[in-house]
Amino acid sequence: MSTNQQRREAAKRKLERQQDRRKVRAEQRRKYSMIGAIVLVVLVVAAVMTFSLMSSGGSDEAQPAVDPAQSSAPPGPSSAAPTTDLKIPTQIAAPLRRPNQFPAAVNCAYPPDGSPPARPAQAPPATNISARGTVAVNMPTSAGPIELTLDRGLAPCTVNSFVSLARQGYFDATSCHRLTTDPGLQVLQCGDPAGTGGGGPGYSFADETYPQLSYGRGYLAMANAGPNTNGSQFFMIYGDASALSPDYTVFGYITPAGLGTVDKIARAGHDGSMDPSPGGGKPNMKVTIDKVSVG
């Protein structure tokens, strides 16, 4: 039979075991509580991130870019959109004269360029093309009249193509899709019925440039996508064009009155949609060519 002392010892050992078990259970509860708290924090963070992604559209899709190789003047420095302090030179550049004149008549080539035309157009006649004289061009636009003088002596095949497209109505009701305003590249670009900078007449023709060629205020030149890729797009130089390499055929001039209209368009700025490459953007003052009439 157990003595009182033995019963007390047994009761003490039982109490100690109960206390140990309670300590173990308490430790387990603390551990589980910590794990639960960590899981909760992770879930909250994940939920916040998911909501943020959903709110922002959750997309890394790139914005549309303008391809500088698509019949455009070369890239220039990046430009802010509207500008009220645009510095435009007032001095009109002197007329150009080729170091080596063309013969009185030349033969040209207008092969298909492999692209569908932005508007139906026929290639011009290619034989016995005059390289003498000038052609007056009247180009009323939504921003005001722009008069041009084409010079066959500078670029007979280019003038021949431009006159042919004008007489086919190719330029009628088309927009001038690109304006640049930075020093070194101050031009207004037109001639693409698609209005994207990638449209052309479906044929191309060779450059009529020369190494000494430089550009200035009042010159009319062809845009291109590389050597001998001229089509229908042209640009009007209203200011500084010192960034241009001699790779763009100059085929005429903008009259002083016409430059007044182009200056007004330039001072209204552009939307920056083509920055940083090829530079510039759509003119803030919408420019639609009503009709191109040649003399």
pLDDT tens digits, 45-101: 444 333 332 333 333 222 223 333 344 444 444 444 455 589 999 999 999 999 999
Residue 127 sits in a domain whose CATH number is 2.40.100.10
Report how many domains make up the chain.
2
112-116: Cβ within 8 A, 24+ apart: 112/202, 112/203, 112/204, 113/200, 113/202, 113/203, 113/204, 113/229, 113/231, 115/200, 115/202, 116/202
- 8 A C-beta contact, residue 136 and residue 289: no
Domain boundary residue, one of 9, 42, 61: 61
Indicate whether 141 and 235 sit together in one domain: yes
The stretch 229-238 carries a mean pLDDT of 98
What pLDDT is recorded for position 85? 81
107-164: per-residue pLDDT in tens? 999 999 999 999 999 999 999 999 999 999 999 999 999 999 999 999 999 999 999 9
Give the residue carrying structure tokens 């002596």. 153
Is 124 domain-assigned?
A: yes
What are the Cα distances from residue 282, in Å, to 188, 238, 240, 278? Answer: 10, 16, 19, 12
Is 89 domain-assigned?
A: no
Indicate whether 179 and 127 sit together in one domain: yes
In 10 A of CB 291, how many CB atoms?
14
Is 97 domain-assigned?
A: no
Is 169 domain-assigned?
A: yes
Q: What is the mean pLDDT of the chain?
A: 82
Indicate whether 48 and 141 sit together in one domain: no
Is 248 domain-assigned?
A: yes
- 8 A C-beta contact, residue 208 and residue 220: no
Higher model confidence: residue 40 or residue 126?
126
The pLDDT-based confidence of 44 (bands split at 50, 70, 90) is: very low
Indicate whether 188 and 259 sit together in one domain: yes
Domain that holds residue 136: 105-294
| d(C-alpha 76, C-alpha 117), whole Å | 27
Indicate whether 154 and 282 sit together in one domain: yes
What are the Cα distances from residue 23, in Å, to 11, 32, 33, 55? Answer: 18, 14, 15, 48
What pLDDT is recorded for position 9? 54
In terms of Cβ atoms closer than 10 Å to its own Cβ (0-12, 13-18, 19+), residue 90 is exposed
Is 217 domain-assigned?
A: yes
266-285: per-residue pLDDT in tens? 999 999 999 999 999 999 99
- Structure tokens, 241: 């064009």
The 3-state DSSP class for residue 53 equals helix
Higher model confidence: residue 183 or residue 24?
183
What are the Cα distances from residue 17, in Å, to 7, 231, 282? Answer: 15, 97, 85
Indicate whether 170 and 259 sit together in one domain: yes
Is 148 domain-assigned?
A: yes
The stretch 21-28 carries a mean pLDDT of 55
- 8 A C-beta contact, residue 98 and residue 153: yes
Give per-residue burial for 211-225: e unless 16+ CB within 10 Å, then b: eebebbbbbbbbbbb
Is 136 domain-assigned?
A: yes
Which region, left, alpha or beta, applies to residue 276 given φ > 0 means left and ψ of -120 to 50 means alpha? Answer: alpha
Indicate whether 124 and 268 sit together in one domain: yes
Higher model confidence: residue 40 or residue 229?
229
- Structure tokens, 183: 């020093």
Indicate whether 162 and 254 sit together in one domain: yes
Give the residue carrying structure tokens 């290639």. 123
Indicate whether 169 and 223 sit together in one domain: yes
Q: Which residues pair with 110 in a beta bridge?
A: none
Indicate whether 169 and 35 sit together in one domain: no
Indicate whether 149 and 49 sit together in one domain: no
Indicate whether 49 and 194 sit together in one domain: no
Domain boundary residue, one of 61, 78, 97: 61
